[in-house]
Amino acid sequence: MKDYAEKTAVVTGGASGIGLALGRELAARGARVVLADVEQSALDTAVAGLRETGGQAHGVVTDVSDYESVVALERRSVELGDGKVHLLFNNAGVGVYEDLPLWELPLVDWKWTLDVNLWGVIHGLRAFVPGMLAHGEPGHVVNTSSGNGGLSLLPTTPIYSTSKAAVSTLTESLHLQLVAAGAAIRASVLYPGPHMVSSNIFTAFRNRPSGLLRDEGQQTPPTLDEIREMVAGMGQELELTSPEQVAAMAMSALDDDEYWILDMSDDTEAAVRARLENILHRHTP
């Protein structure tokens, strides 16, 4: 897509981080932006900020782990978009503190992460894609994965890696089925990077449902500042990518109708190559 004027774009996890940065990019291109987020106050602030710069923006409180909530988002987005949604960014995501071997990690950690990171995407596709196909106009679906799981993995974060690996597989299947169907909409997978992104995912615990809390032990993963301190303690400097850089990369890829939205660091590329070599040559990881 190259023409975004008056097109309706829905962004989940839109009140902060990559989601908000995407909203700003879309609004600057003339799109009608619908930001969806579970946090009302942050959503109000984000929408107000876009409107102050002349953007068309609306906010809809949405829990992507709840299908009926996503269906309600779709209905409201269609109303706001004069009957049509053209762009869907399934971007909402969370991370948990994975401090134990995977066979000991609490099931509530698995459930919350998969409910948001995977089921949130599934809910978005099920709620929005039929209508996007029905109106017959060009459009795009972008699902946010991660280099961690989607490309290679960190063995110390099996829950997060599993959720993002699933998003990558799901998106590739979606892409191929849309092409086979001759659809006017396309799909892409977004891998934020090339470095760790300075987003609010490190404090996602603030939105964790009370029924999915751990019974005991640390509840929150390290903050970005704590990670920076740990890296500094090893004599290194933490390299970061801003949400704005990710959003600009994503929009450039959409302009050129690219499937892989990806800017790999040297370390990530080396990890991907090593993993593929292991597969091709049947090497044990």
The question of whether 97 is a catalytic residue gets the answer no
Among residues 190, 173, 191, 192, the alpha carbon closest in space to that of 129 is found at 173
Give the residue carrying structure tokens 């974060």.
157
Stated as kind and residue range, the H or E segment containing 167 is: helix 158-180
Here the tokens at position 205 are 């615990």
Q: Write the DSSP symbol of residue 182.
A: T
First to last CA, the chain: 40
Stated as kind and residue range, the H or E segment containing 227 is: helix 224-233
- Residue 165 · residue 150 · CB < 8 Å: yes
Q: Using DSSP bridges, classify how beta strands 139-144 and 185-191 pair: parallel, antiparallel or unpaired.
A: parallel
Percent helix, percent strand, percent coil in the chain, to nearest 5: 50, 15, 35
- Residue 201 · residue 185 · CB < 8 Å: no
Name the active-site residue from 4, 67, 160, 259.
Answer: 160
Q: Write the DSSP symbol of residue 152.
A: B
> How many Cα atoms are found within 13 Å in the side-chain-facing hemisphere of 134?
9
| Rounded distance between C-alpha atoms, residue 239 and residue 236, angstroms | 9
- Active site members: 160
